[in-house]
Amino acid sequence: MHRLAETLKEILHNPLGMSGLIIVTLLFTCAAFAPVLAPHDYKAVNVRAILAPPNSDHIFGTDELGRDVLSRMIYGSRISLAVGFVAIGIATLIGIILGAVSGYYGRWVDSCLMRLVDIMLCIPSFFLILAVIAFIGQSIWNIMAIIGLTSWMGVSRLVRAEFLTLREREFVLAARASGASDLRIIFGHILPNAMAPVFVSAILGIAAAVLIESSLSFLGLGVQPPIPSWGNILTSGKDNIETAWWLSVFPGCAILITVLGYNLLGEGLQDILNPRLRKK
């Protein structure tokens, strides 16, 4: 808790980290209090307000069914939050386990696991996701699982590099001498000291997951209407680009600001958690 408080205090004095934290906090607030913040029912169809431009009643205008765009975007933030955290949680867990085993044991174990990483990196992730969705079907849970199962390679390499550096340190040798098991050394001694770059990578990975989900929904392969997603709102914008600019501009800006927020927070944390990158 003391370390967490110190990190938060340093973020408040880091321009990049502070900017990202504000954006991410606003996203969390929108997702958590969507029923309170949304001015209209996001599912309510109003045939008398189809493709209405931004006005006092519909600040961000309406879509092709007369639904309020602002309300749908606020509820869509829940999708972005869920996909980002669940998908990257899966990816981080897989990456930590494989990277830790690879870096700790080395030799043939390291060679086999790193070749697996190389193979996965050779496959275009987005097209792999499209292929898997075509076989198992479209649902938010499938999307989260697929993104997680195709995004762990960077984390595994980071963890492996940290383990290769830390496994010969004095505290690890002392743990071995005291008879500690490999499992205890890996997860009790080395991993806690290797988590700083992993945490930063996870924050940056959330931004990538938001982009992937938005891209899938835009293509009609992600979250399906009437559930709102920034990606499927953009699809409506594509179909009405000449008459309803607000359907493209507002959700596009929401994706841009969200991804920027996670990237800024990640960069700020990297400056704080890695002393070698701190400006003198």
User: What is the pTM assigned to this prediction?
Assistant: 0.84
Print the domain residue range for 139. Answer: 22-46+58-258
Q: Which residues contact 264 (CB under 8 A, 6 or more apart)?
A: 16, 17, 19, 20, 23
Contact in structure between 17 and 272 (CB atoms under 8 Å): yes
* Exposure string over 133-143, b if 16+ CB within 10 A, otherwise e: beeeeeebebb
The total of structural domains in the chain comes to: 1
Tell me the two tokens of residue 182.
């490999």
User: Could you tell me if residue 156 is inside a domain?
Assistant: yes
274: nearest Cα among 195, 163, 205, 202: 195
The tens-digit pLDDT sequence of the chain (280 residues) is 455 566 667 777 778 888 888 999 999 999 899 999 988 888 888 888 888 889 988 899 898 888 999 999 999 898 888 888 899 999 999 999 999 999 888 888 888 998 999 888 888 878 888 888 878 877 788 888 888 888 899 899 999 988 888 888 888 888 888 888 888 888 888 888 888 888 888 888 888 888 888 888 888 887 787 888 888 888 888 888 888 888 889 999 999 999 999 998 888 888 777 655 554 4
Strand partners, 62: 68
User: Could you tell me if residue 86 is inside a domain?
Assistant: yes
Number of CB atoms found within 10 A of residue 168's CB: 8
Q: Does residue 105 sit in helix, strand or coil?
A: helix
User: Could you tell me if residue 152 is inside a domain?
Assistant: yes
